[in-house]
C-alpha cells in the first residue's frame, strides 16, 4: 500500500486517466474529488464490499433450488 500526505488543493494521478484531488479537509473528514473516464466504476469502500458480498451470496446455488427453477421454467411445478 502506498501512503501519501496531501494538502487541500493537492492531488495524485493514478495511471494516465484518473486524478484524485483533496477538495476540503475539516472536522476529521476529507472531501475527495475524482476525475476519471465515465467508463471507470468508482465506489465507496462500504458499497463495494456490499456488492461483493451480495454477488458471492447470489452465486451460491443450492441444487434443489436449481431443480425447482428448472421445473418452474418448463411448466412442471412439483406437487
pLDDT, tens digit, for every residue of 6-34? 999 999 999 999 999 999 999 999 999 99
- Contact predicate 62/69, CB 8 Å: no
pLDDT of residue 41: 95
Nearest-CA neighbor of 22 among 43, 39, 5?
A: 5
pTM: 0.66
pLDDT of residue 79: 52
Secondary structure class of 22 (helix, strand, coil): strand
pLDDT band with cut points at 50, 70 and 90 for residue 68: confident
- Main-chain phi, psi angles of 73, to 5 degrees: -70, -30
Amino acid at each position: 500500500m502506498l501512503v501519501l500526505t496531501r494538502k487541500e488543493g493537492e492531488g495524485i494521478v493514478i495511471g494516465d486517466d484518473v486524478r484524485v484531488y483533496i477538495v476540503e479537509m475539516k472536522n476529521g473528514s476529507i472531501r475527495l474529488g475524482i476525475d476519471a473516464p465515465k467508463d471507470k466504476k468508482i465506489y465507496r469502500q462500504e458499497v463495494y464490499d456490499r456488492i461483493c458480498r451480495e454477488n458471492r451470496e447470489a452465486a451460491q446455488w443450492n441444487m434443489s433450488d436449481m431443480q425447482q427453477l428448472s421445473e418452474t421454467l418448463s411448466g412442471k411445478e412439483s406437487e
